[in-house]
Structure 1
Amino acid sequence: MGNLVEIRDLKVEATTDTGRRVEIIKGVSLDVAEGEIVALIGESGSGKTTIALTLMGYARPGCRISGGSVLVAGNDLVTLTEKQRAKVRGTEVTYVPQSAAAAFNPAATIMDQVIEVTRIHGLMAAAEARARAVELFRALSLPEPETIGSRYPHQVSGGQLQRLSAAMALISDPKLVIFDEPTTALDVTTQIEVLRAFKSVMKKGGIAGVYVSHDLAVVAQIADHIVVLKGGEVQEVGTTEEILSSAKHPYTRELLSAFEPKPREAADAAERAPAPLLKIENLVAGYGASKTDGLPLVRAVEDVSLKVEKGRNLGIIGESGCGKSTLARAIAGILPAAVGKIVFDGKELGRSARERTRDQLREMQIVFQYADTALNPAKSVEDILDRPLVFYHGMNARARSLRIDELLDMVRLPRNLRHRRPGELSGGQKQRVNFARALAADPKLILCDEITSALDTVVAAAVIELLKELQRELGLSYIFISHDLSLVEAICDEIVVMYGGKKVEDITPAKINAPHHPYSQLLFSSVPKLDPSWLDGLEQDPELVRAYCRR
């Protein structure tokens, strides 16, 4: 079996705002054999996606391929003209993006978009393309393969849309498919279905793949070889089995150790206060109000009760759309609950943030999933941290400046970052600023809504260790909203499982390996392991999968 892809001494340069050129890919070489799937792994900024895009002869705006060769099926994409590269893209080499939702046109039917490449390149007649698309829908385990193409993107689930983007990439019978973190935004039960579908179609068609990811457990299920990257350089190359069982490079070992965060030491029972810090009773929340009874037309949270003790952490898990984030927003008063009681530190809170005192707002803070949208891009870090110090504490300029230094120290950020804007920070740094802003209020409880889902494994592990340390120092309590079960297990004293807007089970650490509810069992069994044989050997009750998976 020969090599389909041969990258030799690849160099990519980026141009800074000041016009200075910086080498971001530094002499990378790698091979992909015919029919083989090679994973590119590493932290954010390691060069994974940049290298993958060169396989289409493409460099992002502000970047250029400055050296080396990228051979795909004998053609050097670096030396081809742009017209010649355009013939390769979508035919010989195709691409599956991280966010399928952003890749589809909401105004066109799925079928028209899936077969568009065959029309652009004149690959086959329209009727033949439609028949081929239906075959792919069936092979990718999509429901109603004969009719799903007539729908629009908003009429299918996230997992279905991700598989439809794979159908779009596969319809031209390519030699190589690039998968750019295609399951990152999916919950674990959906991820299993998507991975199985990808793996089956690729192996059956003998198609080579480059799989970009920072999730080693996902990579373990689909890749034959792994290339470990950091700072635009290759750190280690090996078969999946070799990398997982006997990694040699210290950075690879760091990635492996970050996969399972260390469990938190639970608070001593004697140290806990008898009254819970937060108690929720029979909460109902949703969207759109009925004109008859005032209750939500769409009930995203239905009759949920829970409690959080002082100094302890509660995890809330479940699939996308189960009501986790709506529950967090209702607790914070951002989305007023329609029914129910919220008691915080012994006092009943108003359902809306407007009905709460400034101190009640200060003592309960929320940190959102995407720091990019939570932080004002036009403001400096200093300005962002300044605001809560004025609003909650009325500090003067000198006191605020000193406190900002303390906050940056707390979240392990250099003090000289205070004059930078969010766009000049990495993902991990932005999320730390997000936390510093919450800490500026001196809260008792922080609601963490999917705070690590946009971060790579190493950075996410570092953020979790930071939160544990802050908890020990400041006596904080956390509520973690997540679909990352390993994260929740590592930091939470109790876990609430939600499905369809309802709480279906409470799980303590003692019961973590033996959940009772069928959905909890399905959820926990769907978490990938660092074992290449795990997916192929996974056996789940098909009745449970049909009942609980929105495939």
Structure 2
Amino acid sequence: MDVTHARPGPTPAIPTARTPRWTDESLLTIQGLRIDYGRGAEAKTAVDGVDLTIRRGEIVALVGESGSGKSTLAKSIIGLLPAAAHRGAGSISLGNLTLTNAREKDLEKIRGVRISLVPQDPGASLDPVKTIGSQLAEVFRLHSSGPRRSRESIRSEVIRLLDLVGIDEPEKRLKQYPHQLSGGLKQRVLIAIAFSLRPELLIADEPTSALDVTVQAKILEVFERLATEFGTAVIFVTHDLAVATDHAVRIVVMRRGRILEDRLVADILAAPEHEYTVRLLEEAAPHSSPTATRAVGTTAPDGPLAVEVRGLVRDFTRAGEQHRAVDGVSFSIARGTTFALVGESGSGKSTTARMILRLLDPGAGKVLIHGQDVTSASRREKRELWKHLQLVYQNPDSALDPRLPIRDIIGEPLRNHRIGSRATRARRVAELLDQVNIPSHLADERPPALSGGQRQRVAIARALALGARTLVLDEALSALDVLTQAQILDLLAHLQRDLGLTYLFISHDLHVVERISSTVGVMHRGKLVETGPTNEVFGNPTSDYTQLLLNSNPGHRLRAHASTRSGVAALATT
């Protein structure tokens, strides 16, 4: 069985106490905290005079855009700030223990025992050369207390933990390596490791941002059950307000290092006090957003085709077993429109995109780009194809060379294809910077000096450098906060209108898909199970799997609240 593409099993029923095992007792107290990066005149304040209290068993969401200070605040609690950061003022206490001036060796005794961290990227956090069982067992060996436990006792506890976080066949998983697990299963392993010693406080830093909606829902249910059953307090760091409103008790809204609001979810939904919170709510619930702009082109769906795929098939062989990743997929994209592919991890959507880009050979089927059959394109023909068909990657941090200035990154395709003189290339780079709304003075900066949204704009500019007419955007917005997502969506809409671009948009974020796409295809286990106009597929799905995706889509409370407000507004005008 290829577990990489297997859907996680159902979360096991974990008994919940009739009444929570926590009270109003304060667990974490932060007073007047200031965290600076650098010193002297060059110092930048990331956390500015924060006061925060977390009670036992409480799930609190730290929400804000990139650079708001939420991750810095979370890491300061567990003492994992980078060397450049230092506390300028304030204090942090866990119960009656002061963490502010704790020595590193004292913090090591606390981490994992009283405070645990669930990091964002499970792929980078798990050791690829150790089995899942050995990595979980290591926690008990590193933090041994009391009588020495037998190997069999530790094994039983590891199996119990894997079962607790909803991992199917836990005995089988013990001998598997991280690469054999899906993203959702790896994230559950990290939660099991973090919870293994029953910490009082669990810090989850963007733990579901890279997961599809069905897996995300199951992961967040685990956090809720741990908090309810064991009284574990959870600080959930996220840029996704839709997720926060569904699962948190309180929401703490941060911006520029300061807390703007710290209130119960129901209170924030009913009457947000700060204009910034209102903007977050509007962008998190597209139906209620007055600024929502769908990037739908003017070309009719039955007009000239930019992309056409017919019966695409692709098999992979792993451990001697053959797995069909893409199974007879056919669809077309009219020029100047946006077609979205959605589905869970392992559904085959990215493999389909790689075949369209001719980065991967189909086992069967055809690929036509702007009417030209490129299925058997030679290396030279592919090089010509890539002038018109380009990919925008998920993570601009890994896609952009941190050593090069922005002007060289954008101009690199022009140099590689030996297009124009140095002067004409410089003019083209300046034109591209203007098209993606990047100030010209940033041309000499390097990627680390730019925000996440600016880096993604650079990636889009580079993709357009050779005059591409079709862009494949593979999870290109998943690492961005909702306000930055909105800005990039508006940019894509304007570029589509101005340049007549066609987009193949791959995403697990149904909110974004609904906003950007004119048509959508839903993939499941390699097959295209449903396709059609986005409003029809999402409004009246014919596939049970599409309905499952829609039911798992976060933001239920936001949508319900927006619907209520719309109903009240309609009554007021009658």
For this pair of structures, how many residues does the alignment match? 527
Q: Do structure 1's residue 34 and structure 2's residue 56 form an aligned pair?
A: yes
Match of residue 524 from structure 1: 550
**1:160-309 to 2 correspondences below 5 Å:** 160-261=185-286, 262-264=292-294, 266-268=296-298, 274-287=303-316, 298-309=323-334
On the 8 A contact 2:213/2:549 being kept in 1, the answer is yes
**Contact 2:295 2:489 (C-alpha < 8 Å) held by counterparts:** no
**What is the Cα deviation at residue 428 of structure 1?**
1.1
Contact 1:59 1:65 in 2 (8 A): no
Q: After superposition, give the CA deviation of every residue in 1:487-525 in whole Å (9 maximum; x if it has no partner).
A: 111111111111122211113222322211221121122
Q: Does 1:3 align with 2:26?
A: yes
* Distance change in 2, residues 1:265/1:86 (3 Å): closer
* CA contact 1:9–1:28 (8 Å) conserved in 2: yes
Code of the aligned partner of 1:513? G
Cα contact 2:242–2:285 (8 A) shared by 1: no
Alpha-carbon contact 2:57-2:233 (below 8 Å) kept: yes
State the distance in 2 between where 1:380 and 1:268 align: 36
C-alpha distance in 2 between matches for 1:58 and 1:444: 45
Quote how far apart the aligned CAs of 1:386 are. Answer: 1.7
For the 8 Å contact 1:115–1:171, the answer to whether it is kept is no
1:443 matched residue in structure 2 = 468
1:122 lines up with 2:148 in the alignment = no
CA 1:122–1:387 in structure 2 vs 1: closer, same or farther (change >3 Å)? closer
Q: Which moved more, 1:316-325 or 1:138-147?
A: 138-147
TM-score (norm 1): 0.90
Contact 1:258 1:458 in 2 (8 A): yes
Give yes or no for the alignment of 1:493 onto 2:493: no
The AA in structure 2 aligned to 1:80 is: A
Query: What amino acid is aligned across from residue 73 of structure 1 in structure 2?
Result: G
- Partners of 1:283 and 1:304 within 8 A in 2: yes
Amino acid at match of 1:35: G
1:31-180 pair list within 5 angstroms: 31-124=53-146, 125-127=148-150, 128-180=153-205
Q: Tell me, in whole angstroms, the C-alpha distance in 2 between the residues paired with 1:348 and 1:500.
A: 26
Q: Which amino acid aligns with 2:429?
A: I
Sort the Cα spacing of 1:154 and 1:342 in 2 relative to 1 into closer, same or farther, 3 A: closer
SS across alignment from 1:433: helix
> Deviations for 1:282-306, whole angstroms, at most 9, x for unmatched residues?
12235569x9xxxx95542222111
Contact 2:301 2:333 in 1 (8 A): no
Query: Structure 1 residues 460, 136: CA separation in 2 closer, same or farther (over 3 Å shift)?
Result: same
Letter matched to residue 98 of structure 1 = Q
Partner of 1:416: 441
Percent identity between matched residues is 37
Q: Is the 8 A contact 1:286 1:326 kept in 2?
A: no
Report the Cα distance in structure 2 between the residues aligned to 1:99 and 1:272, rounded to whole angstroms: 38
The 1:380–1:527 alpha-carbon spacing in structure 2 relative to 1, beyond 3 Å, is same
Q: State the match for 2:538 in structure 1.
A: 512
AA at the equivalent of 2:130 = A
One of 368, 373, 376 as aligned partner of 1:348: 373
Give secondary structure in 2 for the equivalent of 1:160: helix
Which residue in 2 is equivalent to 1:483? 508
**TM-score, normalised with respect to structure 2:** 0.86
CA drift of 1:529 comes to 1.6
Question: How far apart in 2 are the matches of 1:140 and 1:353?
Answer: 48
Partners of 1:406 and 1:507 lie apart in 2 by 36
The answer to whether structure 1 residue 328 and structure 2 residue 353 are counterparts is: yes
CA distance in 1, matches of 2:53, 2:416: 56
Structure 1 247/437 Cα, relative in aligned 2: closer, same or farther at 3 Å?
Answer: same
Q: Secondary structure of 1:91's match?
A: coil
Question: CA 1:121–1:288 in 2, change beyond 3 Å: closer, same or farther?
Answer: closer
**Which whole-Å CA distance do the structure 1 matches of 2:341 and 2:302 have between them?**
22
What is the distance in 2 between the residues matched to 1:168 and 1:123? 17
2:396 corresponding residue in structure 1: 371
CA, structure 1 residues 422+286, in 2 after alignment: closer, same or farther (shift >3 Å)? farther
> How far is 1:272 from its partner?
6.5
Indicate conservation of the 8 Å contact 1:35/1:206, yes or no: yes
The answer to whether the aligner puts 1:14 opposite 2:43 as a matched pair is no
**Deviation (angstroms), 1:378:** 2.4
- Which of 466, 479, 490 lines up with 1:465 in the alignment? 490
Unaligned ranges ≥5, structure 2:
1-23, 287-291, 561-574
Alignment partners' CA distance in 1, 2:83 and 2:269: 35
SS at match of 1:413: coil
Which whole-Å CA distance do the structure 1 matches of 2:317 and 2:420 have between them? 40
Deviations 1:395-441 (A, max 9, x none): 22222222212211111111111112222222111110010011212
Give, in whole Å, the separation in 1 of the partners of 2:485 and 2:326: 28
Which amino acid counterpart does residue 83 of structure 1 have in structure 2? K
Aligned residues: CA RMSD: 2.5
With 344-353 and 31-40 compared, the bigger mean Cα shift is at 344-353
Distance 2:460 2:559 in 1: 38
- Partner SS state of residue 261, structure 2: strand
1:333–1:353 Cα contact (<8 Å) kept: no
1:10-63 per-residue CA deviation (whole Å, 9 max, x = no partner) reads 1112128x9933222111111101221111111111111111112123322211
Secondary structure of the corresponding residue to residue 314 of structure 2 = strand
Contact 1:409 1:415 in 2 (8 A): yes
Contact 1:96–1:166 (CA<8 Å) still a contact in 2? yes
CA distance in structure 1 between the aligned counterparts of 2:298 and 2:125, rounded to whole angstroms: 50
Partner-residue secondary structure (3-state), 2:476: coil
Per the alignment, do residues 408 and 118 of structure 1 end up closer, same or farther by CA in structure 2, a change over 3 Å counting? same
Relative distance call for 1:353 and 1:216 in structure 2 (3 A) is farther
Task: Give the whole-Å Cα distance in 2 for the aligned partners of 1:126 and 1:533.
Answer: 50
Cα separation, 2, equivalents of 1:265 and 1:284:
30
